[in-house]
Amino acid sequence: MEITNVTEYEAIAKEKLPKMVYDYYASGAEDQWTLKENRNAFARILFRPRILIDVSKIDMTTTVLGFKISMPIMVAPTAMQKMAHPEGEYATARAASAAGTIMTLSSWATSSVEEVASTGPGIRFFQLYVYKNRKVVEQLVRRAEKAGFKAIALTVDTPRLGRRESDIKNRFTLPPNLTLKNFEGLDLGKMDEANDSGLASYVAGQIDRTLSWKDVQWLQTITNMPILVKGVLTGEDARIAIQAGAAGIIVSNHGARQLDYVPATISALEEVVKATQGRVPVFLDGGVRRGTDVFKALALGASGIFIGRPVVFSLAAEGEAGVRKVLQMLRDEFELTMALSGCRSLSEITRNHIVTEWETPRHLPRL
């Protein structure tokens, strides 16, 4: 059966993958309210399309931290991609590069920064978890920089791992044939069997709970790469992030895998955008499955979006070709949404092109 949208890959992945692996990718924290809300909140935003505009030429290109990309749709960091497909992060890197967009490599990848760099040209960011051993962090950041990575996406919402009950039930651990490749030589590449989630135990043992804003400043002393702070959901923290020297902000709730009952990222986006006052770009991840979702995020002030689960599910289903197809489908849908809304370039997408369910008509522009 022909796949016609991004969501259809999830069912195929569920069929193909071992239960432990599928559940790891698919699940959220606790009641999974935020997991559902990340999708549902998009459905509460409607369009106000403008008509009779010449949309024969549509330009979706943009720049992120000075790097030109083909569209404002990028690849979010997702861990352990070789659990989905033998080629794992290699396939994702090639697909992102072919699509002319950015891939973010997870700290917990099953391929190293050097291996991903070896796949060929491409603009790549590196997602960083800060380990208790700062020498490990320094070494990793230097390796990423040397391998040609262009920015750090610092995950700030994980001093402890969220409670993901399916991982506890499944006693989740990294399959024995795989390692966290970036840590292989440091004896941190393996995850022990645990009597709950092996990943939760690993995080408790290795990830630094003392992480604070001063560490964002420390990171700038060890690298020239710009730092994106990933996991901001409030205006207060957006302002502090800018003061701490962040080059950009990623509005993220970690795919609803950390604190349950936080808002959907699309609901938190506008508060963060307003707080930044245009000083740094703001990006969004979480719940994007359609080109219409991309448009809605940009209308609310995002400079671009990142997709996570669609990548691992399409990777599981069809390898590199699947990831390429997901990026192409989202691109095509987004282009169509722009055309049907009367926007020829990203700069023409405005707040007036959407209406949110929580607005009353008096918020709309006067004619």
Q: Where in the sequence numbering do the catalytic residues fall?
A: 254
Find where tokens 């690849």 sit: 75
Q: What is the DSSP letter of 207?
A: B
Could you tell me the two tokens for 273?
């955008």
Residue 284: phi, psi to the nearest 5?
-135, 140
Determine the distance from the C-alpha atom of residue 323 to the mean position of all C-alpha atoms in its chain, rounded to a whole number: 14
Q: Using an 8 Å Cβ cutoff, are 288 and 300 in contact? A: no
Angle (nearest 5°) at CA 67 between 64 and 68: 95
Q: Using an 8 Å Cβ cutoff, are 250 and 176 in contact? A: no
Q: What is the DSSP letter of 190?
A: -
Strands (E), the chain: 45-47, 62-64, 67-69, 73-75, 103-105, 124-128, 151-155, 227-232, 248-251, 282-285, 304-307, 354-356
188-to-21, 115, 132, 162 alpha-carbon distances in Å: 21, 18, 12, 21
Determine the distance from the C-alpha atom of residue 40 to the mean position of all C-alpha atoms in its chain, rounded to a whole number: 18
List the end-to-end C-alpha distance of the chain, in Å, as a whole number: 47
At position 81, the amino acid (one-letter code) is Q
Determine the distance from the C-alpha atom of residue 186 to the mean position of all C-alpha atoms in its chain, rounded to a whole number: 27
